């Protein structure tokens, strides 16, 4: 038979459930008070470029350059202004340095990995028209145009300075165009015109195609001089 040993020291204090619960509630209330304390709203920041609304950029009209007396300097200035269009991603994406186009304002390699093909409209087994139709598709976001294609390899612009592009444009061996044909391409071609109506969140080329055409026309009329 076991006997309970008589308690000799002071009696140990015992905690019941209620004090522990009260402590927990107090801790939760304290944390909630800290988390929900009134704070100043963060300063507003510009939207990331992917989500920012498209802001059209103006192009200086050809008449702005009439004050330049020297025709050679005027010609160069006109081409430099036109260069804001020529070196815009909407144009450069289809004038790649390789056989693969680029896309988006960041000019990343086209996805899927399509290639130029013999006629600039893609390989026979993966044509541009597999995805690109005759107009921009709002539902899918895929851009489109009846003439959707890459520029010929001789007309590659990516990685070149504006001066190099200029000299390439006026070299018939590489541009495959007379100056009249070049002016028509720049001022009236509907695929070039797509650059000002790209749809979706794509940034349009600066100005309008008509303003760009006027710049090119004035540049040709002043001797088609190129920047260095």
Partner 1 sequence: MAFTLSINGRARRVEDDGDTPLLWVLRDTLGLTGTKYGCGAAQCGACTVHLDGKPVRSCALPLGAVGAAQVTTIEAIEGPQAEALRDSWVARDVPQCGFCQSGQIMSALALLRMIPAPSDADIDQAMSGNICRCATYNRIRAAIHDAAASANAKSDRSAGA
- Residue partners of 20: CB distance under 8 A and separation at least 6: none
Cβ proximity to partner 1, 95 vs 116, nearer residue? 116
Cis bond before residue 112 (omega within 30° of 0): yes
Cβ proximity to partner 1, 127 vs 167, nearer residue? 127
Cβ proximity to partner 1, 114 vs 165, nearer residue? 114
Compute the least distance from the CB of residue 154 to partner 1, in Å. Answer: 23
In a 13 Å sphere around the CA of 105, the CA atoms on its Cβ side amount to 12
Compute the least distance from the CB of residue 132 to partner 1, in Å. Answer: 8
Contact indicator for 132, 143 with CB cutoff of 8 Å: yes
Q: How far is it, in rounded angstroms, from Cα 205 to Cα 81?
A: 12
Compute the least distance from the CB of residue 95 to partner 1, in Å. Answer: 22
Q: How far is it, in rounded angstroms, from Cα 200 to Cα 54?
A: 9
Q: Find the Cα–Cα–Cα–Cα dihedral 64, 69, 70, 73, rounded to 10°.
A: -20
Compute the least distance from the CB of residue 128 to partner 1, in Å. Answer: 11
Cβ proximity to partner 1, 123 vs 177, nearer residue? 123
Compute the least distance from the CB of residue 197 to partner 1, in Å. Answer: 16
Compute the least distance from the CB of residue 83 to partner 1, in Å. Answer: 32
Largest alpha-carbon pair distance within the chain? 124
Contact indicator for 59, 207 with CB cutoff of 8 Å: yes
Contact indicator for 74, 68 with CB cutoff of 8 Å: yes
Question: Can you give the binding site for partner 1, defined by CB under 8 A?
Answer: 111-115, 123-127, 129-135, 137-142
Cβ proximity to partner 1, 68 vs 142, nearer residue? 142
- Residue partners of 217: CB distance under 8 A and separation at least 6: 62, 183, 187
Cβ proximity to partner 1, 114 vs 187, nearer residue? 114
């Amino acid at each position: 038979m076991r006997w309970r040993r008589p308690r000799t020291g002071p009696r140990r204090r015992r905690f019941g459930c209620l004090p522990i619960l009260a402590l927990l509630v107090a801790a939760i209330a304290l944390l909630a008070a800290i988390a929900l304390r009134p704070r100043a709203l963060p300063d507003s920041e510009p939207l990331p470029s992917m989500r920012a609304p498209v802001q059209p950029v103006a192009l200086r009209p050809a008449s702005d350059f009439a004050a330049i007396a020297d025709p050679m300097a005027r010609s160069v200035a006109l081409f430099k202004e036109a260069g804001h269009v020529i070196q815009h991603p909407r144009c450069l994406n289809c004038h790649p340095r390789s056989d693969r186009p680029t896309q988006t304002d960041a000019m990343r390699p086209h996805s899927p990995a399509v290639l130029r093909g013999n006629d600039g409209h893609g390989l026979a087994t993966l044509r541009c028209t597999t995805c690109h139709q005759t107009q921009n598709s709002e539902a899918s976001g895929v851009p489109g145009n009846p003439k959707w294609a890459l520029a010929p390899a001789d007309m590659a612009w990516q990685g070149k300075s504006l001066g190099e592009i200029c000299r390439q444009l006026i070299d018939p061996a590489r541009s495959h165009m007379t100056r009249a044909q070049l002016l028509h391409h720049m001022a009236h071609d509907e695929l070039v015109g797509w650059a000002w109506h790209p749809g979706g969140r794509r940034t349009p080329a600066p100005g309008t195609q008509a303003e760009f055409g006027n710049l090119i026309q004035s540049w040709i009329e002043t001797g088609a001089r190129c920047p260095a």
